[in-house]
Chain A
Amino acid sequence: MLIEPDMTIRSTDTPAHTLFKPLPGAQGASAANVAIWFNDRPLSVPGGRSVAAALLAAGIARFRATPVSGAPRAPFCMMGACFECLVEIDGVPSRQACMVEVKAGMRIRSQEGARDLPPTNLADALQENVHGR
C-alpha cells in the first residue's frame, strides 16, 4: 500500500470541524496552550490534559490508520482499553494518546498502519512500500 502524501501530512491551520471543544467558562477552558508538533506541523493545543483530549480540541480527527485496511481511526473509549488512539510520541510508536499527558514540544505523529516508524521524507513514502509485511 502506498501512503498518499496528503494522508500523512495535512494542514492543521484550519481544522475542518473540531469534534470536541473546551466548555466555555468551565475549569480548564482557560488552560494555557502548549506548542507541539503533529505530523511535522506546529500545532497549538490546550494543555493540562491527555494527548488525545488535546488533539481532539485542536481539530485532529484522524489519529491513525489501521494496519489491515488503512481505515482512519480516532479515540473511542478514552480510558486505555480500545487502543484506537495509538500515535507515535517523541519517536516511540504505539503510545495510547488518551493515557499520556500532553507536554510542550512533543513530536506526535499519526500511526500509519503497523507500528514501524513513518517515513522520514516524502520521497521514501512515494517510492517504498513502507508498511508491507
Chain B
Amino acid sequence: MAADFATEAVDVVVVGAGPAGMSAATRAARAGLKTVLIDEQDAVGGQIYRAIGRADARRKEILGPDYAAGAAIADAFAASGARHLTNATVWQVTRERGVNYLKDGKIGSFDAQRVILASGALERPFPIPGWTLPGVLTAGAAQILLKSAGEVPAAPPVLAGCGPLLYLLGWQYVRAGVPIRALVDTTRHEDRWRAKRHMLSALRAWPFLSKGLQLIRTLRDAGVPIFEAADDLRVEASVGADRVERAAALHFTTQGKAHRLEADVILLHQGVVPNTQFTQALRAAHRWDDAQLCFTPQLDAWGELDVPGIFVAGDGAGIGGAQAAALQGTLAGLAVAAQLGALTAATRDAEAAAHRRALAGVMRIRPFLDSLYRPRDVNRIPGDETIVCRCEEVTAGELRKFVGLGCVGPNQAKSFGRCGMGPCQGRMCGLTVTEVIADARRVSPAEVGYYRIRPPIKPLTLGELAGE
C-alpha cells in the first residue's frame, strides 16, 4: 500500500532551529514567504541556545550572557509568522528540494521552492583509549545536560582537551558551584606561538579574546587544577558495585611526567566540526579545510550550494560560532526571498551590507582560534589500539591493516570491516577514518575523501517508511 501522506508545497523549508535556522526562517517569513522551520527538538535553540525558552533567570546566570542572547533570536522567530515543526527528524533532502521527515512515528514530506540547511556542528571525534566507556561524555553533552535538565556531574569531573567550549563548560560549572577535579589542557606552547601570527586580527576582535582569557582566569581563581600540554591521554576502566564497567580515571603525561586523576565523569572536547550529513548526501561539492581540519560544503556568497536552490547557513558551512551563524542565516533568508521575488535585489543588497560587515567582524577571531586550538595530530590520528568506529568497534590498527590490503578510502573501509556502518552513520568516526587513511597512505585528506552518505540520514524502520 502506498504511504498515506500528502506532500505539502511550501516556499521555504529550513532544517535546524539553532541561530542560523531561526534567523533564516525569520527573514524569509518576514518577506512574506510560506516558511517552515523543522527541527528534532521540542523547542527552538539548537544546541547552543538549547531550552532557551524555558530557562529561568538562575540558569541564564549560570550559562552566561552569550547563552541568554539567544532569547532575542528566538523571540524574533516566534514573531515572524514562520511555522515551527517540532520533534520532527528530517531523514532525506533531495536535490529536487523534497524534504522527507519523521514525526511521531509517521513520515511526512515537503516540496519546497528553496531549502536552507542549518544543521550546525558536531563535536570533533576525540579517539583515545577508553573513550567508549560509560562515564566518558563530550563536553557538549555535559552542557546539554546542564541546559536542558539542570544536571551536573555528581562527583568532580575531569575536563580534557582543548577549545572554547571546554573552558566555557568549566566556567559554567564554577558559576554553578560544581567542583571540578581538573582541567587537562592538550594545548601546547608551540600552539600558542603558532597562533601569535594571527594575534593582530585576534586583537581586532578583542571582546572575543578577552572573554576567552576571562574563562580560564575564572577557573584558576576557583582553584581548579590546570594541567597544560597534556599528552598520551587514556581512560582507565573499573567495574563498579553495579557490575558495570565504567570510567575510573584519566591517565596522561605532561613533559614526560605521568599523571592519574580519578574521576567517574570524564568530559572530552577538541573543537567542533560542520555536520555535513545532508550536504554530503546531496553530493554537493566539498573541500578539505586544512585550518579547521574538516570538510566544508562549497558555497556562493549567499550560502547556496552547487545544488540549485539549496543553501547552507551556520556552522554546517564551516565553524564560525553562534553570532556568525545568525548573520549567515539572515543572509540566506534574504537571498531566498530575492530569488522567489519577495524582495528586490536592491533591497536584499542594501540590507545584506550591514550583515556582511558584522560577519567579517565576528570571523576575525577565527584564524587565531583555529590555530591555537588546532587539535594535535596524535589526538586525531590515534594509535593502533584505539577504537575509531564506536558503533562497529573498529580500531585504528585494523584500519591501517585495511590500507595495507589495498583499502584507499572510507567507503572501502566499510566493506573491509564494517567501519562507519553502524547507526551513527560515520558521525563519530568519519573525520578520523579519513585522516587515519590519509596518514597511512601519505596522501592528503582531500584525496582520501569522506564516506558516501546516503539517506535515510537518521535511521527509520521499513514500517515507518511504508506509512504503517
A residues lining the B interface (CB < 8 Å): 6-7, 10-11, 15-23, 25-29, 46, 48-50, 53-54, 56-57, 59, 61-63, 66, 68-69, 71-84, 86, 94, 98-99, 101
Contacts and interface: CB of A to CB of B under 8 A. Distances in A.
Given A56-B145, A81-B424, A76 B136 contact: yes
Interface stretch (B51-59, B196-204, B342-350): B51-59
A15 B151 CA distance: 17
Contacts, number: 155
B65 interface: no
A74 B56 CA distance: 29
Contacts of B459: 94
A82 B428 CA distance: 6
B149 A49 contact: yes
B137 A81 contact: no
Contact of A17 (B47, B136, B155, B423): B155
Interface of B: 40, 42, 47, 54-56, 58-59, 62, 122-123, 132-138, 140-142, 144-146, 148-155, 176, 178, 240-246, 264-265, 275, 390-393, 422-424, 427-428, 458-459
A101 to B, nearest CB: 7
A21 B134 contact: no
A31 to B, nearest CB: 8
B243 A7 contact: yes
Given A76-B141, A79-B140, A71 B132 contact: yes
A6 B239 CA distance: 14
Contacts of A23: 146, 150-152, 176, 178
A17 B149 contact: no
A80 B424 CA distance: 9
B154 A20 contact: yes
Contacts of B133: 72
Nearest to B243: A6
B148 A17 contact: no
B148 A53 contact: yes
- Please report whether the interface of chain B is mostly helix, strand, loop or mixed according to DSSP: loop
13 contacts: A16-B244, A17-B264, A21-B152, A22-B151, A23-B152, A66-B391, A72-B134, A75-B141, A76-B137, A77-B138, A79-B122, A82-B424, A82-B428
A84 to B, nearest CB: 7
Contacts of A75: 137, 141
The 5 tightest CB contacts between A and B, nearest first, are A74-B134, A16-B241, A78-B141, A28-B150, A49-B149
B244 A72 contact: yes
Nearest to B153: A20
A20 B157 CA distance: 10
A56 B134 CA distance: 10
Nearest to A85: B141
Given A22-B150, A53-B151, A86 B423 contact: yes
B150 A68 contact: no
Contact of A26 (B134, B150, B245, B424): B150
A28 B56 CA distance: 10
Contacts of A62: 134, 242, 244, 246
A26 B393 contact: no
A80 B275 CA distance: 12
A15 B146 CA distance: 21
Nearest to B241: A16
